[in-house]
Amino acid sequence: MPSSPSPAPPLRLGIAGLGTVGIGVVKIVQRHGPLLARRAGRPIEIAAVCASSRHKNRSADISAYGWEDDPVALARRDDVDLVIELIGGENGPAKATVEAALAAGKDVVTANKALLARHGQALAEAAEGAGRSLRFEAAVAGGIPVIKALGEGLAGNAMRRVMGVMNGTCNYILTRMESAGLPYETVFEEARQLGYLEADPELDVGGIDAAHKLALLAALAFGCRVDFDAIELQGIGAVSIQDIRLARDMGFAIKLLGVAQMTGRGLEQRMTPCLVPETHPLAQLDGGTNMVVIEGDALGQLVLRGAGAGEGPTASAVMGDVVDIARGLRLPVFGQPAASLVPAPPAAVSAAAPWYLRMVLLDKPGALAKIATVLGEAGISIDRMRQYGHDDAHAPVLIVTHKASSDDIRVALDGFAETGVLVGEPVAMRIEEV
């Protein structure tokens, strides 16, 4: 009788970083070992772990695993086949750990969007040159499988646009401001007290975290090298409760929206507060949830919605990558060989769109006429305009323009500053056609 095939050897994991996500991965492996083995076709085991403190009280038992104080040493262990990097940060130990793992012939799974946004091309070339996998589903939109969708399920599409709400903290702040009628500063402090903000809050509210994610999606969607510095970036700090109310009154919601689209002018990449129609799913997104919208020539529009962070959703994404590697699935890091990725020409001028402009003028004759003249000289026509909350000294004004480029808007804003009729800084937000 023919002998039965030998059972496949286990895939042995080394986990670098035992924060929220790292412990979430440990729990999944401990809880679903037999299920993972059936789905992967081989056992998946944890061989060793690494963190800044060995004796910290954690919500999972790690006593059965090998321990390393140094994540680079973990990456080089002979009993580790795959390194899961959950340290964070674009340089330092995270970068050194991933580089060491690839050099030692190990596969890598990471949730580190900052690392890949800055060093994705070099790391992809290193991984593919070594014949290893570098997977990063957990780096973008938490538990939403958007990386797999772009790299695999939608590979037959020429992509037109990728956009979405990719930072749950910003979405929480904006929706909380609206639902509770609270100013930005109050909700920012509330989010800090709840532990929603990064140690450096600017990573969240400044749009940097979300822009890291957008850079990765753009590379996958358009076959270009990751270029974080090409992203037009603006955070939510200037959005007021007044803006949120006025936008809603016009039938819009304000979201920190990431958009990447290839046009005849080049690749547009922007992460900025935008107005979106209240009837679109993006506008209806509440709290910390993320949403990514993908548009392909064959597909049309696909909307992916789910938890953008947290122990379970992000650990789930990590383990999805681990199981793929255990099955023997090896794909280029960014959907096509890294050597074939080319620098995408950044768009010199963004696609034209309507704009929301809010400003406070001195209440004196001719003030509004000066603003209208500046807009006309910049080639911008007015769709609608209203005054509200008028008092004896100040005249708040809201203007919605017809389609204009961001360059034209910048020219107009510079011209406003020279009129002598502005009180404070004007607010300008694009009205995105979704």
Q: What is the pLDDT of residues 203-219, one digit of tens each?
A: 999 999 999 999 999 99
Residue 402's contacts (CB-CB under 8 Å, 6 or more residues apart) are 354, 380, 381, 382, 383
User: For the chain, what are the domain ranges?
Assistant: 155-307, 355-431
Can you list the positions of beta strands (E) in 107-245? 107-110, 134-135, 159-165, 232-233
> Which class does domain 355-431 fall in?
alpha beta
Q: Would you report the helix, strand and coil content of the chain in percent, each value rounded to 5? A: 35, 25, 35
- The region that residue 7 occupies, defined by phi over 0 for left and psi between -120 and 50 for alpha, beta otherwise, is beta
Residue 18's contacts (CB-CB under 8 Å, 6 or more residues apart) are 26, 49, 50, 51, 56, 58, 62, 86
Q: Output the furthest CA–CA distance in the chain (Å, rounded).
A: 101
Adjacent-strand bridge partners of 207: none
pTM above threshold 0.95: no
Q: What is the band of 347 on the pLDDT scale with cuts at 50, 70, 90? A: confident
pLDDT in tens, 78-126: 999 999 999 999 999 999 999 999 999 999 999 999 999 999 999 999 9
Q: What is the band of 310 on the pLDDT scale with cuts at 50, 70, 90? A: confident
pLDDT of residue 3: 53
**Residue 30 clears pLDDT 60, i.e. is over it:** yes
Q: 260, 217 in Cβ contact below 8 A? A: yes
| Residue-averaged pLDDT of the chain | 94
Q: What is the band of 387 on the pLDDT scale with cuts at 50, 70, 90? A: confident
More confident residue, 12 or 346: 12
pLDDT of residue 348: 66
Tokens of 51: 């963190």
The identity of residue 299, as a single letter, is L
pLDDT in tens, 126-142: 999 999 999 999 999 98
Adjacent-strand bridge partners of 233: 271
pLDDT in tens, 238-249: 999 999 999 999
pLDDT of residue 6: 63
Residue 391's alpha-carbon distances to 25, 360, 369, in angstroms, are 58, 11, 19
> Which class does domain 155-307 fall in?
alpha beta
**Residue 197 clears pLDDT 90, i.e. is over it:** no
pLDDT of residue 222: 96
**Residue 389 clears pLDDT 80, i.e. is over it:** no
Q: What is the band of 364 on the pLDDT scale with cuts at 50, 70, 90? A: confident
Q: Would you name the residues annotated as active-site residues?
A: 213
Q: Which of 61-75, 296-310, 336-350, 395-409 has the lowest mean pLDDT?
A: 336-350
Residue 265's alpha-carbon distances to 261, 268, 320, 348, 349, in angstroms, are 10, 8, 37, 6, 7
pLDDT of residue 280: 94
